[in-house]
Structure 1
Amino acid sequence: MNFSIVIPAKNEEQGLALTLPKLRESYPDAEIVVVNDGSSDGTVAVCQQYEVTVVSHPYSKGNGAAIKSGARAAHGDYIVFMDGDGQHDPADVEKLLYKLDEGCYDMVIGARTGRDDQASLARWSANTLYNRLASWMVNSKIEDLTSGFRAVKRKKFLSFLYLLPNGFSYPTTSTMAFFRAGYSVGFVPIKVSRRLGTSHINVLRDGVRFFLIIFKIGTLYSPLKVYFPMSVFVGGLGILNYLVANLTSGQVRFTNMSTLLLLTGMIIFLIGLLAEQLTNLQYKDSVEEE
């Protein structure tokens, strides 16, 4: 297969020193693109030792921005994305490509099995919640929504670059975008190792980000599927308030709270309907490019 390996890296000197020689030995003909996202350590020097293509950002733009730069620089018909911190086993690249080469899938994701040693309980619980919510949205089991180890068809992935954020949620966005466009997504079980170097995840900042991802999952796939239950719930509270007020007062009338809740429920539904139409237009342009 004509494929490229794209690795986003910010201060990943240790991880790349472990990963790059294994990749070179296992896939000598593959194009390897390392995106140096404003590193201040020896990341570039390690890459030069193994003669890989280096795309450097003048300053740190984020993991998603590095992925976009790498995808644009890659020339293979297929792209394998993997982390540069030593978590991913280069031997698993073959597993992803083998499943992709079957011809049934447009994206194959390396699904982490169980809870790895370095994942905190909070992160593991959040990922489990994401997987279940996303599975409900697409009516298909998603085994690992946030895994950064994946293989894709390059042309299809490039058509969604404008959707990808510059931060860490590119796996979530790309996965839901492929499902929304009607492309096939497969999963291959993998195991991850403990990362080398310092994690770039900040508990407070990324805790808020994880919370926002919950809403992003819905708006990326089918906004109305999220907004409609919310509108029914709020509108139901309005009806319940109306019934309770009339039973307790003995008078048939709408209270201000009942009116407010019912109107709020209607507004939420209309916002969801509008978001659904905008989403359809957004993905229509992506599919037409193919």
Structure 2
Amino acid sequence: MICLSRKAIVSTNWKGSSVQDSNNASLVDEKASLVSLSIVIPAKNEAPSLRVLLPDLKSGYPDAEIIVVNDGSADDTSNVCLSHRVIEVRHPYSKGNGASIKSGARAATGDVIVFMDGDGQHQAKDVGRLVAELDKGFDMVVAARGARSQANWSRLAANTVYNKLATWMVGHKVQDLTSGFRAVNARLFRQFLSILPNGFSYPTTITMAFFRAGYSVSYLPVMVLKREGKSHIHLVKDGVRFLLIIFKVGTLYSPLKLFTPISLILFFTGLSYYFYTYTTVARFTNMSALLFSTSMLVFLMGLVAEQITSLLYSSRGEVITTEIKRHIENND
């Protein structure tokens, strides 16, 4: 449900200079990037924080399209959206953070989308910094939190493990895998909507997907504030989910990175057990044979999965190329 009817979003100068309007053309610095900006804020019972955040965004980025995705809130989030004249996409019930992100991405009309939390942690002033970094030729810029910005030591330790594991899976340094504050190329982001989970692990999925797809990703250090209210993320339950998502996305985008180590572990376990049984009972046991066979099967599964992934990307590339050609022809 929309609180405010959507109007055409004009081109915005990220440095805060004048903008070009259909009714009143203004002079703009030739070096400034001119694209439309949408800011998507998933929110569940975040009305107090939105009362502070929305005025800052409206004053700092007056021509941006601001979308609040109300994920089944029980407070007066809708009234806050109405009073500040921003777009509200309303879920009739809570669907999850990832589902809110997908709803916001579908509703956004900008060429660039900035996703930020509505809990008071992310600051409006950093939106311009993210977009300016994106303007340097990147496809996604992620706001990377430092150690001081982590909620507690356990969250810091968990995020460190996630970052190291994701770095190994994608082959690129991942500085903040779970940050929900980022600026993205809207067209590229929408390519991955079908694989994004509805829960809290959407940042994990989209980060690894962009790296594996060969898109350019940058990290920008930011200082986040203490959140208002209680976090909806549970360290143990959602931590296990994050790990599963990492392996799931790894299987989808880089199967051999996952299957090869498992195969090697099984192989060397079987080899060690073989030497042990050979020296003690002087025979080759069934368990050794089973471990050797399983290691080969796992490795072959990885090879097959790698070929399927290559075919998937080949097909996707053809579709994207066709869409680009059609767009160029329509504009000519």
Q: Output the TM-score relative to the length of structure 2.
A: 0.82
What is the RMSD computed on CA atoms of the aligned residues? 1.6
The answer for unaligned runs of 5 or more in structure 1 is none
How far, CA to CA, are the matches of 1:214 and 1:177 in structure 2?
Answer: 10
Aligned mate of 1:75, from 80, 102, 109: 109
Note if contact 2:163-2:177 (Cα within 8 Å) is conserved in structure 1: yes
Note if contact 2:209-2:249 (Cα within 8 Å) is conserved in structure 1: no
Instruction: Determine the structure 1 residue equivalent to 2:143.
Output: 110
How far, CA to CA, are the matches of 1:50 and 1:287 in structure 2?
Answer: 41
- Deviation of 1:220 (Å): 4.1
Aligned mate of 1:277, from 307, 311, 317: 307
How far, CA to CA, are the matches of 2:43 and 2:273 in structure 1?
Answer: 55
- Deviation of 1:278 (Å): 3.0
Equivalent position SS for 1:168 = coil
Instruction: Determine the structure 1 residue equivalent to 2:285.
Output: 255
Corresponding position: 1:84 with 2:114: no
For residues 113-152 of structure 1, the aligned pairs below 5 Å read 113-116=146-149, 119-152=151-184
For residues 207-226 of structure 1, the aligned pairs below 5 Å read 207-226=239-258
Aligned mate of 2:268, from 214, 223, 236: 236
How far, CA to CA, are the matches of 2:155 and 2:251 in structure 1?
Answer: 22
- Deviation of 1:223 (Å): 1.6
How far, CA to CA, are the matches of 1:36 and 1:95 in structure 2?
Answer: 26
How far, CA to CA, are the matches of 1:203 and 1:188 in structure 2?
Answer: 25
Equivalent position SS for 1:216 = helix
How far, CA to CA, are the matches of 2:305 and 2:50 in structure 1?
Answer: 42
Corresponding position: 1:159 with 2:195: no
Note if contact 2:139-2:215 (Cα within 8 Å) is conserved in structure 1: yes
Greater C-alpha radius of gyration: 2
Stretch moving more, 143-152 or 215-224:
215-224
How far, CA to CA, are the matches of 1:178 and 1:49 in structure 2?
Answer: 37
- Deviation of 1:229 (Å): 1.2
How far, CA to CA, are the matches of 1:46 and 1:172 in structure 2?
Answer: 30
Equivalent position SS for 1:59 = coil
- Deviation of 1:203 (Å): 4.0
Q: Aligned pair in 2 of structure 1 residues 287, 160: CA closer, same or farther (>3 Å)?
A: farther
Q: Deviations over 1:9-67 (max 9, x none)?
A: 11111121111010001001000011111111111111111111100111111101100
Equivalent position SS for 1:6 = strand
Q: Aligned pair in 2 of structure 1 residues 10, 139: CA closer, same or farther (>3 Å)?
A: same
Q: Aligned pair in 2 of structure 1 residues 20, 289: CA closer, same or farther (>3 Å)?
A: farther
Q: Deviations over 1:208-240 (max 9, x none)?
A: 313323423522431211110110111111111
Partner amino acid, structure 2, of 1:108: V
How far, CA to CA, are the matches of 2:134 and 2:289 in structure 1?
Answer: 54
Between the two proteins, the alignment pairs up a number of residues equal to 286
How far, CA to CA, are the matches of 2:123 and 2:252 in structure 1?
Answer: 30
Stretch moving more, 16-25 or 130-139:
130-139
Instruction: Determine the structure 1 residue equivalent to 2:278.
Output: 246
How far, CA to CA, are the matches of 2:128 and 2:191 in structure 1?
Answer: 25
Corresponding position: 1:53 with 2:83: no
Q: Aligned pair in 2 of structure 1 residues 63, 53: CA closer, same or farther (>3 Å)?
A: same
Partner amino acid, structure 2, of 1:272: G
Structure 1 runs of 4+ with >3 Å offset: 281-289
Q: Aligned pair in 2 of structure 1 residues 111, 71: CA closer, same or farther (>3 Å)?
A: same
Partner amino acid, structure 2, of 1:99: E
Q: Output the TM-score relative to the length of structure 1.
A: 0.94
The answer for unaligned runs of 5 or more in structure 2 is 1-34, 321-332
- Deviation of 1:147 (Å): 0.6
Partner amino acid, structure 2, of 1:82: M
- Deviation of 1:130 (Å): 1.3
Q: Deviations over 1:63-120 (max 9, x none)?
A: 0110000000000011000001010011000111001112x21111111122325x23
Stretch moving more, 30-39 or 257-266:
257-266
